Chains A and B, each alone.
Chain A
Amino acid sequence: MKNRIRSLVGAAAVSSMMLVGAAAQAAEDTIKVGILHSLSGTMAISETTLKDAMLMLIDEQNKKGGVLGKKLEAVVVDPASDWPLFAEKARELISVDKVDVVFGCWTSVSRKSVLPVFEELNSILFYPVQYEGEESQRNVFYTGAAPNQQAIPAVDYLADAEGVERWVLAGTDYVYPRTTNKILETYLLDKGVAPEDIMINYTPFGHSDWQTIVSDIKTFGSAGKKTAVVSTINGDANVPFYKELANQGIKAEDIPVVAFSVGEEELAGLDTAPLVGHLAAWNYFMAIDTPENVDFIAKWKAFIGNDKRVTNDPMEAHYIGFNMWVKAVEAAGTTSADSVIDSLVGVAVPNLTGGYSAMMPNHHITKPVLIGEIQADGQFDTVWRTPGLVPGDAWSDFLPGSKDLISDWRKPMSCGNFNTATGKCGGA
């Protein structure tokens, strides 16, 4: 008897887990929106803000009467910066909580992890962060920047406006910096930069001792040619990096650093007075003076109840993505994934920088590219912006593997990786 009881305890524990699933089937009078952002672990630092931003957007929409006459209901889960858990939670959101759309993910690996889930269960994911490109999936809408919407304009600006001839490509060793730096390297070599004028450096996640690398950059930068650093250093490692730059006295006038992952939120943890003039390339800055943005910031501060909180580019991406989804659902008259996916392409909504962003057939959006200089108050001052909107390019033209690929999810092509050289749709 004793034996049997013991072994049944395990079985019962597992079965009870299933009941969690069964119990969660709630009434159908709301439209559910899943929010899949880490609230604990290493990525909580960036992602928690996005969860709050989503809650605010949903709140605002409900005040306007919801969508299709129904209220929106947010379903928040915590994937805890654990990549397999992202897949599990995505599955839970779609098949247990029955959400109609998910807004979430920050790192590339979390997106890669949930991608098969969205494909299998045919749901919709809005991904709000700048990323390395080389992807276009039917169920995913990329509202962050592709490399051609961030990296390449930034390099052009440095070369033209600042006369930079020597480049340090410094990044954290993961896919986004690797790919971005590959693209930039090819681009720079094509522009006639000599190979010895490009220095590439990779560091581990959370790297905190930057003494050697900063002094290497200093040495590399004193070879007589104007030098700039293109930084794809990831969130956490940035604060010690900038502190070391400031302390070793690297001024923006001498060696400017242009970053693609440093926004208002990251600068909030830093004294920016010694960093004035270093640059960042984004599609949105909090300091942009448009009525939409002023309104958005006011609502955000009121919602979060803190006058000092800042807004940043991924928040704007969620703002755009959410409004696109609302518009597409209203156009389609239903929340069913297939109809919404079809009606999303071509939807245009106002962005916060004084224009309209449109969803393109490759599921990326059109955005302006802004170059800003860091100010003493932790904000960015826009020193340059593209004259028009730049469409996101899913497949970079500067990588040998992807230069023949295009993506178009409209019928009849309906393909994320169409090879123009062979005339065939690439993978599955």
Chain B
Amino acid sequence: MISKFILRGLDGRLTAFLIAALAYVVLIAIGNLFIPEGSFLHVPTYAVSLMGKYLCYALLALSVDLVWGFAGVLSLGHGAFFALGGYAMGMYLMRQIGTRGVYADPTLPDFMVFLNYKELPWFWYGFDMFWFAAIMVVLAPATLAFVFGWLAFRSRVTGVYLSIITQAMTFALLLAFFRNDMGFGGNNGLTDFKDILGFDIQSDGTRMGLFAASALALCLGLIICKAVVASKLGKVLVAVRDAESRTRFLGYRVEHYKLFVWTLSAALAGIAGALYVPQVGIINPGEFAPANSIEMVIWVAVGGRGTLYGPILGAILVNGAKTYFTGAIPEIWLFALGALFVGVTLFLPKGVLGLYGMLRQRFEKTRAPRETKRTADPVSQPSEAE
């Protein structure tokens, strides 16, 4: 039953993507671990962790596209789910430090020692076990999303109202996590991780492993999203996106469909956050900042909304550009980034993938002018209206 569900999404395009991804990971692994430093083909560890970070962003963008591209729910608060997943992982990593912290306290993380905590707060229990943390990585964002979505979709909060209250949600969490009284380390967040599952977090092997895990998570995420989108559920979602009232009048419980995909998306975002934290080495309330969540939406738009592949591309492109520009033109890179956003919305309304489709269509039009009436893939073309 489940395999059938999965297989439905597994078309040729996806298979090709998966094979390419696999080959890519293997190549990078060989380049990083086996080819000696100094060789032209050597992949530096710096690049590995950088790409691992991009892949986490790509998974996050994928989760945003699932709700925005296919259910028409524009979330300006997906950073909250990402950060919650990240915090769950960060708490596990903090507990793993043990007596290697600067105060050598066996249970309390450093920040609790100097803020005079006498004992571990209750919500930190269990995070010394990886399986518990792994469950919380999914459960914490999913629960928040479920409660929030259940309230919002049931009351038919839609469109920009929904976007603004998701923003309010992540802003409230931002303020809450900034408070040192919350017990999450305040503004400094969680840092100075030592190891994960017994592996030294700074070794090349672990970094490679995390990179591979991120690639794997991205592939799995893509398979799941593809499967959801290709199922009947996916068709109903597109209907909701394009004409919510009409779908409701046809007898579908719109809020149930939305709630399902919203919660799923939050869980994916949480996983992305959990893989992100050990690779960048810090989780701090800054991840909840509304500006971050807006940026995520922009990755999706740059890549192409409602295409699943587009957001992956968009996240990698925008973040790659950011990495490059902040080093190459540090004084004026914001001009480049700002212009990119304006340019993409004006000239590439369907994102970079859309550009590819457009060029292709034009190319085929000139080659076979009779064959212009191509039926567009109904899934990959989100409507213009809300």
Contact = CB atoms under 8 A, between A and B. Distances in A.
Interface centre among A17, A20, A77, A424 (most CB of B within 10 A): A17
Contact of B180 (A2, A84, A174): A174
A85 B326 contact: yes
A18 B43 contact: yes
Nearest to B283: A84
Given A21-B44, A39-B330, A88-B280, A108 B188 contact: yes
A116 B24 contact: no
Contacts of A97: 327
Interface in B327-361: 327, 330-331, 333-334, 353, 356, 360
Contact of B191 (A13, A20, A113, A417): A113
Given A3-B12, A112-B189, A428-B100, 14 more contacts: A2-B360, A11-B20, A79-B326, A84-B276, A91-B46, A97-B327, A109-B191, A115-B191, A116-B281, A117-B281, A173-B180, A204-B175, A417-B103, A426-B103
Interface string B53-74: 1100000000000000000000
21 contacts: A3-B12, A6-B13, A13-B320, A14-B54, A16-B320, A17-B50, A21-B44, A77-B326, A78-B330, A85-B322, A85-B326, A89-B327, A92-B46, A109-B189, A112-B189, A113-B284, A175-B187, A427-B102, A427-B103, A427-B104, A428-B100
Nearest to A422: B104
B15 to A, nearest CB: 8
Interface of B: 12-13, 16-17, 20-21, 24, 40, 43-47, 49-51, 53-54, 99-105, 111, 113-116, 175, 178-180, 186-189, 191-194, 202, 276, 280-282, 284, 286, 309, 312-313, 316-317, 320, 322-324, 326-327, 330-331, 333-334, 353, 356, 360
Q: Is the interface of B mostly helix, strand, loop or mixed?
A: helix
Given A77-B327, A95-B44, A96-B46, A14 B51 contact: yes
Contact of B186 (A40, A174, A428): A174
Nearest to A13: B316
A401 B356 contact: no
Contacts of A14: 24, 51, 54, 316, 320
Interface of A: 2-4, 6-11, 13-14, 16-18, 20-22, 39-40, 76-80, 82-85, 87-89, 91-92, 95-97, 107-109, 112-113, 115-117, 120, 134-135, 173-175, 178-179, 182, 202, 204-205, 399-402, 405, 416-417, 419, 424, 426-428
Given A17-B47, A85-B326, A427-B99, A10 B313 contact: yes
